[in-house]
Structure 1
Amino acid sequence: MAMKSIRAKLLLIVIPILLVSNIGLIWFTYDRSAAYLEANFRKDAASQQEVLKNKINAWLQVHLERLQTMAGTEEITGFDQTKQEQYLKLEQGQHPEYEMLFVAAKDGSAITSSEARVNVAERAYFQAVMSGKPYAISDLLISKTSGNQIVVVAAPIVKNGSTVGMVGCTIPVDTMGELVAKAKLGERGTAFMTQADGLMIANRDKATIMKQNISQTGATTLKEALARAVKGETGVTDNTFNGENELIFYTTIPLTGWVLFMSAPLSEATQQVTELAQISLLAAAIILVIAIVGVYAFTTRLVRPLQKMSELTEKVAQGDLTIQLMHRSQDEIGRLSNHFMVMIENMRNVIGKIGGATEQVKQSSESLAMMSQETKHAADQVALTIGELATGTAETAESVTDATEKMNRAITTVQEIATFADRVMEGSEQSKKSAANGRSHAVEAMAKMEELQKVTQQTSSILEKLDGHSKEIGSIVGMITAIARQTNLLALNASIEAARAGEQGKGFAVVAEEVRKLANETGNSAEQIADLIRQTQHESRLAVESATHGAKMMAEGAAVVKQAGTAFDDIAANVDNAEQQNQQIHAAINELMQMSGRILNDMENISAVTEEASAGAEEVSASSQQQAAGANQIAADAQTFTELAENLQSLVKQFKTE
């Protein structure tokens, strides 16, 4: 079933892919080919319609030119009825396709080649020619002489530049209809022609001639095509006839204004594509069958080695490891087969080794069981002896513990004395530190005051120098002021001289004026600088006086600080004496504490040793008991190992390795 499912899965994958790809290709080919063939069909149909139109137009042109030639002959223009009748009969004999030739005078009375006498004054073609048109071709008419369906072609008879009559011919509609009826578009396509008003005048189905009018009974698309053709347009439109789609091509006959239609079923345009699609579907079906057969054959070849491996795997599951699998291919299946055989070989080796190891485990378990029994007996004897030793050690530990408690109380009293002595020493030490700090601060204060005194003296010296510099700057500013005044005076004199010089001194006068302004500004700035310097000199003198006073106060403060330093030295000496006495007391107490500590330490060591001995004995006793229990457990485990080894041997024997 598993192999069949693989084959089915591959078929389910391949078949949809082939189906979708082939159907998509067929549809694309059909769609493109149909569009191409329809375009070609439209082009060919339009070309055939153009040929037919030109053929009909040329056919009418031949008759018209013949009549125009006849209208210019002497027999016709002379209006001698006898000659005209004879001429018409002669021409009639040469052109039997005409039902009749006739000549009409201005009043419409006409003589014919059949000797009949008619009047055509009410006919539209006669009126058109007589109105000056170069020719006239009538719509479909009923002949007045024969009663047949005819078309009249007429040409004017012109004499001395004026129309004096007309010559015409009647053509049976069958003659013209044959041109249209013989036209064929494709296998089932037809042609038909109507007048401008939609009346049928040529058709393969003669029963519709002069009886069917498409402007009244035709489909909407035909009516619209007729309207466009009457306007002179040429084109194609879609129509539905008897439930089948068809193409309608339309155009206009130039000489008459008649509308020529050609129709063909749309299926003819795509008939070849339909045949191509049928062939493509057949080819796709063949390809699909071939693909299914190929996939089936491929999956059969693919599944065969898997089936073989499945059979061998079933034997392995039953314990048979002597199987062999030969697969020489180098593909994934071949590599899988090789790996499978390597796995079987490894399993065969492992099972063999497990069998040997199991036997050894069984023997070791039996030996371990015997040793565990002996160990249990020895552990029981040791536990009994250690229990008695633990009892005596516990009593000794209780006596040592009582003595240790009494010694602890004595040491506590000594510690309280030592604590009080420590406090006294701490107070002395703190007093010593305070005295030393006071002495240090006094020395530091004296040093700072000496430095500050030096700085004050330096500041006073600098301020005195600054006052001297200010005086020098004042002298320089005075010189600048004098120069500015002199420059102002010179500029004024220059202005006066320039004024005397008149026009030639105007430029110099401007320069002199600017120099004078600059001199005034320089003088003003110099005065301001002089004021600032005077203020600076006054403030410098005040600063020198203040620095001198500060230096004096610094000297007095330094003397006071020096006296305080001496007092701190005396305090430090007294504190040192008290500290020496306290140190002697503290040394004695420490010696007592050390002796008490050694005694207590010895007591605690004795107690600890005793307790450790007691605890050790208890632990040894407990360990002996645990050893005995462990020996029991080892014996039980050894029995379990023996049973497991026997079970494993039975399992290994299920595999066949040779």
Structure 2
Amino acid sequence: MKTKFSFKKFNTTSLRFKLAVILLLVALLPMLCTTIFYSAYFDNMMTQEIQEKENNLAEANATTVDYFVNKKIELTQEIIKQHPEFRNGDVEQIKKTMKAFAEVDSEVEYFAYINKDGISVNAEGVLTNVTDRDYFIQSRDTKKPFISDLLINKKNGKHIIVAAVPILDENQNYIGGVNCVLNPDILSQLTKGIKVGQTGYGYLISANGMILTHPEPDRIGKTLDEAFTPELAKVFKDNVIAKESGTFTFTALDGSEKIGSFKTIPNLGWRLVIVVPAEEVFEQLTTSMQLAITLIVVVAILAIIMAIFVARRAIKPILQVSGAIKTLANGDLTPRLQINSKDEIGQLSHDLNATLDSLSAIIEQARQVSEQVAASSEQLTATSAESVQASNQISRSIQEIVGGTENQLQASEQTSRVMDEMAIGIQRVAESSSSVSEACLSSMDEVQLGNQRIADAISQMKKIKNSVGSSAKDVQMLEEYSQKIGQIVSVITEISNQTQLLSLNASIEAARAGEHGKGFAVVGNEVKKLAEESKNSAANITELITEIQGMIVKAVTAMNEGVVDVEKGAELLDDTGKVFHTISNTFQQITEQIQEVSAASQQMSASTEEVSATMTDIVNVSQAAYDRSQGILTGAQQQLAAMEEISSSTNNLSKLAQELQEELAKFKIANRS
């Protein structure tokens, strides 16, 4: 658990410790600040120096690598220029030329010719389709030399780098190319010569992030993601791949901090990276820091010794003053300080002696005054005690008076409330009686109206009875007429039957008469038709008469029942009229009695209101008497409280005077010692 510095704790420490700390800080802070400043300054200077050295070294070696690769490209271009068989496409002659140049240049693995269709042939005549190779596509499309990343030779499995040089005709059209295949070990030899510090080294990375050379062979030919951790690969991508040149720091795979500088090779796009351990860069600075820390420790020890000596020398007079003040705190005012100097401490001692003299005089005066106060307070205490007893007696008497007045007031208020409630009840009875009387009168009118309506209904029922009886007689007559019509229709039917028979006989006779009876036959037929129509009409009339007779029978039955019902209704209405007459007489009697009750209630309500008003006056008088008694009681209680407070104050004053005498007695004064 870390201990935090607290100014409150520092303030509670001794002055000797504070003075020692201040002197120590005054001695150490300038040296510490100077050391920190120069450390930061030298750190920055050394970092800039190593970065500048790395940048210069990277730039120089980048130029060397660029020169080497460009030299091979220029050699290939010169071969193409000096040997026309490359433009003519003479493969046999091309193979001989490539073989001859490969044998004399140990830095070249071999040469290969590529026609415009992407078919490659080496000096041994081996054909290979390279149309999908990046170096062929870039060289053909850009019509400029192109340097590949690190590739693997399928024949021997070794790493190679291809410098593809295009062959152009007079119109600058691509007609083929020559690959100058280089051994990357030569580039490794170039980067192995890079030395920075004791263990610094350099290596090449392609523009696509493939490691071309490295002190650790197992990383050659791998991408950044394959050779490093994801975090370290991201650092290299964000710096080496994303920028043309610069300096950066990173944590290596072994956990050590390293400083790297890089430079882009102009025509190739490769990055030459130079790495040096950070501890080698700051080794001299670390030694300087250790020396500075040792010096600070030695100075700190000397400063502590000096601070203790100076603090003890300066604190001694202050301790004497502190001792005198402690003696004063215990009540002894007799000691005085010896003044041996005229500095601030001497002035403080002189002022303290003057203060002791003044305090001695003040305490002596306070003793005399406290004795006088004690005597006066005892007399005042006795007087106030007698006044308190008298005030208590007066207060008790007034309380009894107030109690009686309060009881009288409560009784008056209770009686007044009862009279008010009685007046309200009687008033409600009077109002209810008036309402009932009015309701009875209204009901009486309604009963008389109902009685008149029933009489009218009875008269109307009698008229209905007479009308129904008359209608029943008419229906019976109608039934008799319909029976007579039926008899007539029967006669008509019989006549039509006879007529039809006669027409048949006439037709028979006309047939016998022959030609002379044709006219008679026609008349017979017409008579026959008329007889049939009469018969049909008679049949229809018979059916109608039958239906009418049935309806008349039903009507007669209904009329008879209606007559019976009307007679019963008339009897009921007659009984109802008698009942309404009885009700009307009863309501008349009730109304008269209720009117008498209402008059008596109104008279009683007026008398009750007079009594209630009288009780209200009594309550007001009692309330006024109670209020005056209460005011007198309050004044007496206030007077009693004031006297008790005076008595308490005199007692406290007496105690304080006694305590003051006791406290003053603790002080030891020179004139009483």
Query: TM-score normalised to the size of structure 2?
Result: 0.40
Query: TM-score normalised to the size of structure 1?
Result: 0.41
